[in-house]
């Protein structure tokens, strides 16, 4: 049985705008329609989209409390106070800490960084972190990618005469923490024009604001734009508006003059190619994350702030070893979770998956939750035991707001945080049964059957004859791709095999297709090996695919990356 997917076509948008755009840009009408789908309807908008300019970055002082943050930092530097840069242990948090520490370390020597221990302290501002600051005479903490909901901890810090500047991008609660400044575009009273920066992006805006205030060269903060790009890719924030500019220029820097830590990581991973956002997501980000999952996030920061090549290479080698351990651990736990589900039949008649084992590694359960969600395609929570509590990672399916579902269960949890697609939570062991039942009830009452079936969102139906070198090059210029700017997905009906398909690495499918009067196009279908015996010569079928360039031994060809197949009746 082949995996069922919903094929959904995106409305074309305003036809007149698309026709005019195609004429102005001298491009295929189909590509102009895709631009219109992305709210790009004029020549000026298209120019800004295809040539993202750093001059279009927003004024950081439009962010609520930015002036207060800079004023407090100025006071700390003038008074030679000790400043602690505090951040989460994931990619967004560690890149943010590396950026802020590196930037301000050039301005003051009284600075250090702190990453909480994932296993001992958990997510967010910890009492242990505040106590560390107090014992070491740090009077200002700049918290990145966390803190917006740490009301109690920040109040505790005030009793120790420690000030906080919060640089977060998560959704605030009804009350803001008692910090000197709270930088978060998602706070209701913030008029910053773009709401979807990553945590590292907020740190970048802080450095930009400081540079503007003190008439410093933009190079002082722009040199860290590759770190911001990595955080954007890893945290899966929308690649539009300011994030598109940062991701675009961050990739240029990564591929030309990356920071020593990222360069060492690329060299040690063995990838000798031009990196895309996808390469960052699947190659660099997991390695950076492995430090916090298997050992301590400090190791990732240590690599990212290296200012000497040999030290960076040595640290990246250590990170790679941790990543290898992470792979072994998550594969083992995933297998155990799948066996647990099969044995208990816990999915029968249910709309959610909740699994628990007290011995699972806390650092990899988020990956396991993602794998289970991919396999069973329903909101999923994986729990393990930590410090007397159950701690877990939750993952959602496209279109379903996981955060709202958890909000309806908040009385059964000690704490939780995240967003509509992913979250973390902590609860008492005695509440697991009631929590699992409540979570199932809430999801079952609000999720639709359509959302429990993976969706393939098609941008346009085309004929293979439309695909040529110029068509592919225009698509390539729409990159970097990601949320809210995905690679255009096309559907073509009535295609035929050129020859029998070939299974690669047991689960992928290579084949070649054509239409009447069209050239032959090589295709790769990742995870589509199940179609090997279903595709027959002289039998028409339909394919959903992206158009990309394939480089093999210096030969460049157009390749179709097939996402879904339907056998035509």
51 belongs to a structural domain: no
Q: Are the CB atoms for 558 and 467 separated by under 8 Å?
A: yes
The boundaries of the domain holding residue 289 are 56-321
What per-residue confidence (pLDDT) applies to 346?
Answer: 56
At 233 the three-state DSSP class reads helix
Say if 414 falls within a structural domain: yes
Whether residue 409 is found in the same domain as residue 462: no
Assign residue 191 the CATH number of its domain.
3.90.1640.30
Q: DSSP secondary-structure letter at 485? A: B
Asked whether residue 218 falls in the same domain as residue 284, the answer is: yes
Quick one: pLDDT at residue 173?
Answer: 87
Q: Is 477 left (phi over 0), alpha (psi -120 to 50) or beta?
A: alpha
Q: What is the pLDDT of residues 194-206, one digit of tens each?
A: 999 999 999 999 9
- Please tell me whether residues 107 and 246 are part of one structural domain: yes
pLDDT in tens, 475-489: 999 999 999 999 999
Residue 18 resides in a domain: no
pLDDT digits (tens, 9 = 90+) for 108-135: 999 999 999 988 888 889 999 999 999 9
Q: Where are the alpha helices (DSSP H) in 176-308?
A: 199-213, 219-222, 225-235, 241-256, 260-269, 277-279, 285-294, 298-304
Q: Sign of the C-alpha dihedral, residues 276, 279, 285, 288?
A: negative
The yes-or-no verdict on residue 1 having pLDDT over 50 is: no
pLDDT score, position 119: 80
Q: Determine the Cα–Cα distance for residues 215 and 512; give it in Å rounded to an integer.
A: 58
In this structure, the answer to whether residues 281 and 349 fall within a common structural domain is no
Q: Which of 257, 269, 277 is nearest to 313 (CA)?
A: 269
**Does residue 488 form part of some domain?**
yes
Residues 416 and 494 in one domain: no
Q: How does pLDDT run across 336-349, given as a tens digit for each residue?
A: 999 988 776 555 67
Q: Which two tokens stand for residue 422?
A: 């992913």
498/448 same-domain check: no
Does pLDDT of 292 surpass 70?
yes
Q: Pick from 251, 255, 238: which is nearest to 486 by CA? A: 238
Residues 198 and 249 placed together within one structural domain of the fold = yes
Burial code (b: 16+ CB inside 10 Å, e: under 16) for 331-366 equals eebbeebbeebeeeebeeeebbbbbbeeebbbbbbb
Where is the domain boundary, 452, 484, 514? 452
pLDDT at 2 over 70: no
Give the integer Cα–Cα distance in Å for 566 and 569. Answer: 9
Mean pLDDT of the chain: 93
pTM: 0.92
Identify the CA nearest to 447 among candidates 353, 522, 557, 357. Answer: 353
State the average pLDDT over residues 93-104: 98
My answer on whether 315 and 441 are in the same domain is no
Give the position of tokens 């899966």.
Answer: 236
Please write the tens of the pLDDT for every residue from 134-169: 999 999 999 999 999 999 999 999 999 999 999 999
3 — pLDDT class (breaks 50, 70, 90): low
The verdict on 127 and 208 lying in the same domain is yes
pLDDT at 344: 64
How many separate domains does the chain show? Answer: 3
* Whether residue 115 is found in the same domain as residue 162: yes
Last residue of a domain, one of 452, 483, 499: 452
Task: For 498-530, write each residue's pLDDT tens digit.
Answer: 999 999 998 999 999 999 889 999 999 999 999
The radius of gyration of the chain's CA atoms, rounded to the nearest angstrom, is 25
Establish if 21 belongs to a structural domain: no
Instruction: Give the CATH number for residue 400.
Output: 3.10.310.30
DSSP annotation of 520 reads P
């Amino acid at each position: 049985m082949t995996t069922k997917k919903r094929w959904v076509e995106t409305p074309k948008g305003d036809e007149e705008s698309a026709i005019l755009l195609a004429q102005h840009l001298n491009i295929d009408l189909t590509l102009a329609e895709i631009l219109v789908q992305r709210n790009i309807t004029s020549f000026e908008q298209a120019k800004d989209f295809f040539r993202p300019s750093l001059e279009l970055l927003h004024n950081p002082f439009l962010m609520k409390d930015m002036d207060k943050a800079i004023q407090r930092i100025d006071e700390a530097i003038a008074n030679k106070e000790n400043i602690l840069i505090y951040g989460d242990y994931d990619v967004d948090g560690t890149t943010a800490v590396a950026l802020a520490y590196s930037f301000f370390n050039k301005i003051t020597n009284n600075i250090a960084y702190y990453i909480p221990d994932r296993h001992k302290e958990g997510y967010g501002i910890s009492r242990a972190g505040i106590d560390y600051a107090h014992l070491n005479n740090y009077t200002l903490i700049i918290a990145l990618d966390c803190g917006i909901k740490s009301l109690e901890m920040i109040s505790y810090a005030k009793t120790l005469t420690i000030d906080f500047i919060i640089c977060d991008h998560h959704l605030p609660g009804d009350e803001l923490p008692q910090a000197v400044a709270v930088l978060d575009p998602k706070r209701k009273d913030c008029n910053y024009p773009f709401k979807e920066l990553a945590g590292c992006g907020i740190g970048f805006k802080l450095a930009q604001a400081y540079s503007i205030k003190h008439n410093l060269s933009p190079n002082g903060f722009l040199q860290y734009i590759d770190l911001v790009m990595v955080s954007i890719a890893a945290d899966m924030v929308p690649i539009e508006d300011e994030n598109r500019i940062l991701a675009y220029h961050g990739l240029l820097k990564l591929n030309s003059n990356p920071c020593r830590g990222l360069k060492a990581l690329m060299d040690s991973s063995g990838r000798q190619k031009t990196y895309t956002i996808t390469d960052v997501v699947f190659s660099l980000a997991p390695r950076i994350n492995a430090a916090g999952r298997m050992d301590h996030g400090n190791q990732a920061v240590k690599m990212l702030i290296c200012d000497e090549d040999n030290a960076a290479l040595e640290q990246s080698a250590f990170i790679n070893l941790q990543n290898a351990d992470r792979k072994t651990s998550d594969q083992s736990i995933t297998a155990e979770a799948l066996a647990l589900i099969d044995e208990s039949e816990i999915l029968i008649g249910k709309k959610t998956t909740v699994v628990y084992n007290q011995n699972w590694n806390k650092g990899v359960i988020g990956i396991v939750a993602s794998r289970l969600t991919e396999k069973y395609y329903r909101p999923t929570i994986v729990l393990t035991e930590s410090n007397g509590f159950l701690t877990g990672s939750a993952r959602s399916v496209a279109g379903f707001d996981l955060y709202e579902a958890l909000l309806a269960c908040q009385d059964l949890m000690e704490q939780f945080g995240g967003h509509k697609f992913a979250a973390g939570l902590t609860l008492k062991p005695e509440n697991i049964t009631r929590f699992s039942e409540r979570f199932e009830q809430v999801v079952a009452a609000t999720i639709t059957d359509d959302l429990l079936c993976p969706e393939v969102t098609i941008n346009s139906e085309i004929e293979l004859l439309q695909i040529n070198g110029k068509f592919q090059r225009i698509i390539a210029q729409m990159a970097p791709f990601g949320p809210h700017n995905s690679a255009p997905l096309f559907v073509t009906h009535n295609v035929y095999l050129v020859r029998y398909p070939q299974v690669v690495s047991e689960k992928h499918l290579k084949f070649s297709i054509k239409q009447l009067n069209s050239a032959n196009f090589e295709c790769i279908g990742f995870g589509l090996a199940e179609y090997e015996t279903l595709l027959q010569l002289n039998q028409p079928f339909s394919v959903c695919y992206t158009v990309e360039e394939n480089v093999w031994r210096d030969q460049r060809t157009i390749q179709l990356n097939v996402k879904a197949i339907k056998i035509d009746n």
